[in-house]
């Protein structure tokens, strides 16, 4: 359980002051995700979508269970997304689909509007993946890497990929190594060699690929990418 999950657990035990601090500190995250989902830049003073997302985030704090395995922020995104979908169903004139507004039928949804909402819900699943890819690109950039170069620095042989994935999993469970990696933005090869027994030349050859795997495993908001690389058991 990481620091955020421990914080959520403490809030669930009744620490209301801590809840307020978390809600304030995560407003940029809520704003970024809600704006991404709604395909427009939202404003706290004027857009109901942000209030709905904030309420959903607060609801996620109460509903989250760490033992289920998913990171809190991934769970919170799902709660926010579902709340926004419910909002779109009630306010279809706010719905943006392919940059076109869907007109609302007073007090009810027309058949076309209902289809639009369903299509939009499916589109949000794809957009959630795109949101994670955007976060992944930002993290890679901090290490001097780019998403574009990943295919070129990834091993072609499945056995090599699987081996490096196992090494990344070992590293991700070692807090000191992960902390040093994030602080220096450089793979601490000596520590990794001592901890995992991995060959130095192997670590150096696949350094960029290994860093990308560790980012995916340790970032709290990359649950979809983690499942894509390692499967649901990850």
Q: Do 101 and 30 belong together in one domain?
A: yes
Residues 130 and 200 in one domain: no
Give the largest Cα separation in the chain, rounded: 67
Among 86, 109, 142, give the residue marking a domain's end.
142
The pLDDT, as a whole number, for residue 107 is: 43
26 and 11 co-located in one domain: yes
Mark whether 108 and 170 lie in a shared domain.
Answer: no
- Contacts by 23-30 with C-beta closer than 8 Å and gap 24+? 23/54, 23/57, 23/58, 26/57, 27/54, 29/73, 30/54, 30/57, 30/80
At 97 the pLDDT is 45
The total domain count for the chain is 2
d(CA 118, CA 224) in angstroms, rounded, equals 21
| Claim to verify: residue 37 and residue 116 sit in the same structural domain | yes
Decide if 217 contacts 233 (C-beta within 8 A): no
Query: Is 151 found in the same domain as 132?
Result: no
Q: Is residue 200 domain-shared with residue 134, that is, in the same domain?
A: no
Instruction: Please check whether residues 20 and 121 belong to one and the same domain.
Output: yes
Contacts of 69 (CB under 8 A, 6+ apart): none
- Residues contacting residue 227 through CB under 8 Å, at least 6 positions apart: 234
Do 36 and 111 reside in the same domain of the chain?
yes
Three-class SS state of 179: helix
Token pair 């978390």 is found at 22
Task: Select from 142, 160, 175 the last residue of a domain.
Answer: 142
> Do 26 and 80 belong to one domain?
yes
Q: What is the residue range of 15's domain?
A: 3-142
Instruction: Identify whether the C-beta of residue 232 lies closer than 8 Å to the C-beta of residue 223.
Output: no
- Report the alpha-carbon distance of residue 157 to residue 165 in Å, rounded: 13
Q: Are residues 13 and 104 in the same domain?
A: yes
Going by the DSSP 8-state scheme, the letter that residue 40 receives in this structure is S
Q: What is the pLDDT of residue 70?
A: 64
Q: Collect all residues with Cβ–Cβ distance below 8 Å to 29 and sequence separation of at least 6.
A: 73
DSSP codes of every residue in 87-134 = HHHH-GGG-EETTEEPPPBTTB--HHHHHHHHHHHHHHHHHHHHHHHH
Length of the chain (residues) = 234
- Domain end, chosen from 142, 164, 180, is at 142
Mean pLDDT for back-to-back runs of 10 residues, the chain (234 residues): 79 92 93 87 90 95 74 86 84 49 43 56 73 89 92 92 92 90 90 90 93 89 80 55
122, 211: one domain: no
* Predicted local confidence at residue 165, as pLDDT: 92
């Amino acid at each position: 359980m990481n620091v955020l999950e421990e914080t959520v657990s403490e809030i669930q035990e009744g620490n209301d002051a801590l809840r307020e601090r978390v809600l304030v500190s995560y407003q940029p995250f809520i704003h970024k995700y809600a704006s991404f989902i709604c395909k427009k830049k939202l404003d706290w003073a004027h857009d109901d979508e942000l209030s709905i997302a904030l309420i959903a985030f607060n609801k996620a704090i109460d509903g989250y269970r760490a033992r289920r395995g998913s990171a809190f922020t991934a769970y919170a995104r799902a709660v926010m997304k579902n709340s926004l979908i419910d909002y779109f169903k009630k306010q279809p004139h706010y719905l943006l689909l392919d940059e076109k507004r869907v007109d609302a039928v007073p007090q009810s949804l027309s058949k076309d509007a209902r289809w639009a909402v369903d299509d939009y819900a499916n589109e949000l699943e794809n957009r959630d993946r795109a949101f994670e890819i955007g976060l992944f690109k930002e993290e890679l950039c901090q290490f001097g890497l780019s998403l574009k170069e990943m295919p070129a620095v990834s091993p072609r042989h499945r056995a090599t990929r699987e081996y490096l994935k196992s090494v990344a999993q070992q590293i991700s469970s070692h807090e000191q190594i992960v902390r040093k990696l994030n602080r220096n933005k450089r793979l601490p090869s000596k520590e990794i060699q001592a901890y995992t027994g991995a060959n130095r030349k192997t670590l150096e050859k696949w350094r960029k690929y290994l860093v990308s795997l560790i980012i995916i495993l340790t970032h709290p908001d990359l649950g979809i990418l983690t499942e894509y690389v390692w499967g649901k058991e990850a």
